[in-house]
Amino acid sequence: MAAFTLARALRAGETVFSAWTTLASPLVVEALAREGFAAVNLDAQHGMWETASLVTGIGAVHAGGAAPVVRVPLEGFALASRALDLGAEAIIAPMINDGADARRFVAAAKYPPLGERSWGPVRAMMLQGASKPTDYLREANAGTITMAMIETPSALNNVAEIAETPGIDCLFIGPYDLATSLSAGKAQDINAPEVERAVDTIGAAATKAGKIPAIYCRDAQRALAMKARGFRFIGVHSDLNLLREGAAAVLKALKG
């Protein structure tokens, strides 16, 4: 694989669909990569991915020909740096609510002068084919993508400040948390008018700041609709739901 394929695709204006995984299985993520997803996300916030499984999972995604993406836990900035050292090409950080959160994320994920990322990308250099530290260092800040999740009223109010933070590459909408928070915990209706307005506001803020608008979608139909609305990194479905839906379809056919 060429180095930093995700960043190159996104900066070239392409739309990237990313598989979403929670099961911490290297075989699953490699299979999804080999099926043709350009990126595969390993969810360490709500999924079962931990440091040891990320080592093998990131390698498996790369072996399958896709870009590894990791969503870290809430305020998991130490894991953000660690996952990049292990070869992740992008980090999704949840609950980035203001400029201060965004700057802490950048500090962990970007090398100086943008941030304070500590040096040690031994595995990343191997996967990226960088034989000299200076080769990796020269490309890493542009080549690794920081995705700030916008999913609360506070984040929505501060979206311009977050988008304009140097070192933030992408605004990533978490639609279900956004719907929950905007309804004060009463609903998860991602099609509610206030949620749709927020989606447009966030997308516009990203575009105005020259950043990448991104979103998670539960199914392919919504993913295509979000592409039509200008979103360019789109997480789609999940490995567990794909497994359950596939099993349900087979059982339905067997039972007639």
Question: What Cα–Cα distance (Å) separates residue 190 from each residue in 82, 110, 157, 237?
Answer: 33, 32, 18, 15
pLDDT digits (tens, 9 = 90+) for 178-209: 999 999 999 999 999 999 999 999 999 999 99
* Active-site annotation holder among 27, 35, 36, 46: 46
| Residue 62 annotated among the catalytic residues of the structure | no
Give the CATH number for residue 228. Answer: 3.20.20.60
Tokens of 75: 């305020």
Q: Choose the weakest-confidence range: 91-95, 129-133, 231-235.
A: 129-133
What does pTM read for this prediction? 0.97
State which residues form the domain around 110.
5-255
Residue 182 and residue 185: Cα distance in Å, rounded?
Answer: 8
pLDDT above 90 coverage of the chain, percent? 95
Confidence check: pLDDT of 54 > 70: yes
Q: What is the mean pLDDT of residues 39-47?
A: 98
Confidence check: pLDDT of 138 > 80: yes
pLDDT above 70 coverage of the chain, percent? 100
Residue 123 and residue 71: Cα distance in Å, rounded?
Answer: 18
Confidence check: pLDDT of 53 > 70: yes
Other CB atoms within a 10 A radius of the CB of residue 103 amount to: 16
Domain count, the chain: 1
Structure confidence at residue 1 (pLDDT): 60
Contact (CB, 8 A) for 109 and 53: no
Tokens of 119: 């040096």
